[in-house]
Amino acid sequence: MGALRYAIARPSESREARGAARPAAGFSLYAVVAALAFAGAVALAAGSAVQAARTPLVLVRSERTSAARQNYPTYDEEFNTAAGWLDRFFSFDIITERDVEAGRLSEAGYKLAILPENAVMTGREVQAWQQFVADGGKIIAVFSTALRDENLTLVGMQLGELLRIRWLRWMNDPTFRQIQLVEPSPSFTGLPKAIPVRSGSQIVELLPGGRMVAGRADANGVLSRSYPAVIVESDAGLYFALPVFEEQILVVPELQQALYAAIRAYVPQAVKAEFSPISPDDFFRHYLPTPETVPVVNKVVEAIPGEVPPASGYPCFLGAYYRKAVSSFDYWTGIEGVVTLPNLIIDPARNGPDGPRDGASIYMGGQARGQEIDAGLSWDHQLGGWRPFWRNQTWHNAPGIPDKFIWYPGETVRMSVVVAGPGKLRLTVMSVPPGDGRGAGSEFPGERTGSQKGFTVVFDAWGFGPGIVQQFKRVNAIDQAGNEGRPVQPTAARVTAAVWSEVWLWRGDVKVPFTAERFTDMRCPAPEHFVVRTAGAAEGGDPGSGTSGGPGAGLTGPGAEMIEIYGTPPDPAASSFLN
């Protein structure tokens, strides 16, 4: 697609609107192996003889939620994160919702069941949970648990009568910065009063018998005035109104401590280790680039025999202001570039209930066999910086951790999207230290120093692969919330100068400069929204930019360009290139 969807519209409670998916790798892969392989942990086979539980604690996997990828694309990753975290501290079993429906919870003797956002639930399963609680069992339910029936219809909190809550809606509250403990509870003894978080949450109303243990609060600790409950305790157990098993939320030490304390209070017999928080490095090690995981191509050639030239033009895709440079369809294997990041200047008149309706992105990707991929950096309004994302069938974000995976205006990064196997692409974003050599033979800077920020992920990209005719692109854009496929909305938003100091196309073990003769130049919806300067534009600017020129000083690298984007066509004298 010409430009990526700016994912800010967030319908109902569905995870596809929040878009924070992560691959089952690193810590998550460890979770799968550790949780499923340790002795006696799993009794998944339907119809198998019921055996006494080896532990009072059980983690329940929802196969129906896992299958509902359009609604809950991150369920498997969050389940794996939950299992990996639990395995550090507790002995537990894993069963599925089909075991629950078959009555195995009470028969096996479990005392506490954890439902890590088991959103899709049948009436039969609801009845089984009611029986489990009636038999003395406790539940820890998370976020969207039990909000949809087996037809994926949003029916509200089916376990609400048990947990003593009524679900109202999902809300992205930009002021939500703390979980404030407000009522003493045996489940949360010895904890700090404030737990720092950044998250959306379900909005729930307390029913008689429901006790608000903790509420949504702003950075100053002031509780929300409207339905603030985020941790609710009842005779049935606990409900967490935020997705506590997202890596970027669970990494908070105080939240880990709260979960540990609650589980320990319910089932002390399941404890196998004293609490010590899992560090961010352990949580996110699988995202950190290393020389072993990130490929580097250093051999440069000026031309490849038989190269297919780019198309003369393509129609614009509606919905955003974007400058796209797109290659030919050929046996390319990736794209790589170095860019100094710009700033997004928003239009105050286009602020909505969830924040600004205009966003920005700087990304790569391509197309193969009809599959379009976007991957790179998008502007995060709450964090005030650039956050890695990738979009295949669904939207995915890197964890929103400022000191690890967020870059800021003025920082320079090396970005690449390259083939990582049949049906796989790898996105890598690495800081380039000031003064680092960025010539053709330079390595990824993060491989030489652990102090630099870096992110890498391999993701599904059907149609791409080695030996495939495929296309690659780089894009600078102003994106508009909920506007994909429609004419752009008028805006005064603009993106200041982004400086690409070099860009390369990969072909196996060689790379060629991604210069004008190798790409189709798209400026959508119209050229006058862009200021583009190239290495060859020493004076007079880019003739197609719709603006007057300025010096192109410093643009000497292969494929080098400076790009500004204006929702309202600029006055040439206002260009930040000239200021």
* Model confidence pLDDT, tens digit, residues 340-381: 999 999 999 999 877 899 999 999 999 999 999 999 999 999
CATH topology classification for 19-165+237-285: Rossmann fold (3.40.50)
Residue 52 φ/ψ, nearest 5 degrees: -60, 140
Asked whether residue 31 carries a pLDDT value surpassing 70, the answer given is no
SS3 call for 479: strand
Q: What is the pLDDT of residue 281?
A: 83
Q: What is the pLDDT of residue 536?
A: 61
Do domains 19-165+237-285 and 288-574 share one topology? The answer is no
Q: Is 551 exposed, middle or buried (0-12, 13-18, 19+ CB in 10 A)?
A: middle
SS3 call for 130: helix
The pLDDT of 379-393, averaged and rounded, is 93
Q: In the chain, pLDDT over 70 holds for what percent of residues?
A: 84
Mean of the per-residue pLDDT values of the chain: 85
Whether a cis peptide bond, with omega within 30° of 0, leads into 525 is: yes
Q: Is 153 exposed, middle or buried (0-12, 13-18, 19+ CB in 10 A)?
A: exposed
Say how far apart CA 164 and CA 183 lie, in whole Å.
Answer: 16
pLDDT band at 405 (very low <50, low <70, confident <90, very high): very high
Say how far apart CA 100 and CA 125 lie, in whole Å.
Answer: 6
Q: For residues 179 and 7, which has the higher predicted lDDT (pLDDT)?
A: 179
Count CB neighbours of 183 within 10 A.
12
Q: Which amino acid is at 405?
A: F
Say how far apart CA 440 and CA 418 lie, in whole Å.
Answer: 17
Q: For 174, which DSSP code?
A: T
Q: For residues 352 and 441, which has the higher predicted lDDT (pLDDT)?
A: 352
Instruction: Describe the chain by its helix, strand, coil percentages, rounded to 5.
Output: 20, 35, 45
Count CB neighbours of 51 within 10 A.
13
Least Cα distance to 270 among 51, 92, 81, 85 occurs for 92
Give the Cα-Cα-Cα angle 90, 93, 99 (nearest 5 degrees): 150
Q: For residues 25 and 453, which has the higher predicted lDDT (pLDDT)?
A: 453
pLDDT band at 292 (very low <50, low <70, confident <90, very high): confident
Q: For residues 383 and 563, which has the higher predicted lDDT (pLDDT)?
A: 563
Lowest-pLDDT range of 7-11, 265-269, 516-520, 550-554:
7-11
Quickly list H helices, 152-206.
160-163
Structure tokens at 460: 């599904």
The pLDDT of 72-84, averaged and rounded, is 92
Q: Give Cβ neighbours of residue 262 (< 8 Å, ≥ 6 apart).
A: 140, 187, 188, 238
Asked whether residue 304 carries a pLDDT value surpassing 70, the answer given is yes
Asked whether residue 13 carries a pLDDT value surpassing 60, the answer given is no
Global pTM value: 0.78
Asked whether residue 286 carries a pLDDT value surpassing 90, the answer given is no
Domain limits, the chain = 19-165+237-285, 288-574
The pLDDT of 13-37, averaged and rounded, is 38
Torsion sign, CA atoms 212, 214, 216, 218: positive
Element (H, E) at 530: strand 530-534
Q: Answer yes or no: are the C-beta atoms of 143 and 175 closer than 8 Å.
A: no
pLDDT band at 575 (very low <50, low <70, confident <90, very high): low
pLDDT band at 456 (very low <50, low <70, confident <90, very high): very high
Q: Give Cβ neighbours of residue 153 (< 8 Å, ≥ 6 apart).
A: none
Distance of CA 255 to the CA centre of its chain: 20
Element (H, E) at 80: helix 75-89
pLDDT band at 120 (very low <50, low <70, confident <90, very high): very high
Say how far apart CA 453 and CA 574 lie, in whole Å.
Answer: 33
Lowest-pLDDT range of 132-136, 340-344, 450-454:
450-454
Torsion sign, CA atoms 477, 480, 481, 486: negative
Say how far apart CA 48 and CA 288 lie, in whole Å.
Answer: 42
The pLDDT of 467-481, averaged and rounded, is 96
pLDDT band at 435 (very low <50, low <70, confident <90, very high): low
Distance of CA 538 to the CA centre of its chain: 40
Q: What is the pLDDT of residue 199?
A: 84
Tens-place pLDDT, residues 224-279: 988 999 999 999 999 999 999 998 899 999 999 999 999 999 999 999 999 999 98
Count CB neighbours of 426 within 10 A.
22
Q: What is the pLDDT of residue 554?
A: 65
Lowest-pLDDT range of 325-334, 524-533, 568-577:
568-577
Q: What is the pLDDT of residue 353?
A: 77
The pLDDT of 303-311, averaged and rounded, is 96
Residue written as token pair 């920082």: 411
Q: Answer yes or no: are the C-beta atoms of 262 and 294 closer than 8 Å.
A: no
Q: What is the pLDDT of residue 344?
A: 97
Q: Of 3.40.50.2000, 1.10.630.10, 3.40.50.720, 2.60.120.1270, which CATH number belongs to 288-574? A: 2.60.120.1270
Count CB neighbours of 245 within 10 A.
26
Tens-place pLDDT, residues 477-490: 999 988 888 999 99
Question: Is beta strand 57-61 parallel, antiparallel or unpaired with respect to 112-115?
Answer: parallel
Asked whether residue 25 carries a pLDDT value surpassing 60, the answer given is no
Element (H, E) at 484: none
Tens-place pLDDT, residues 191-229: 888 999 988 899 999 999 999 999 999 989 999 988 999
Residue 315 φ/ψ, nearest 5 degrees: -70, 150
pLDDT band at 552 (very low <50, low <70, confident <90, very high): very low
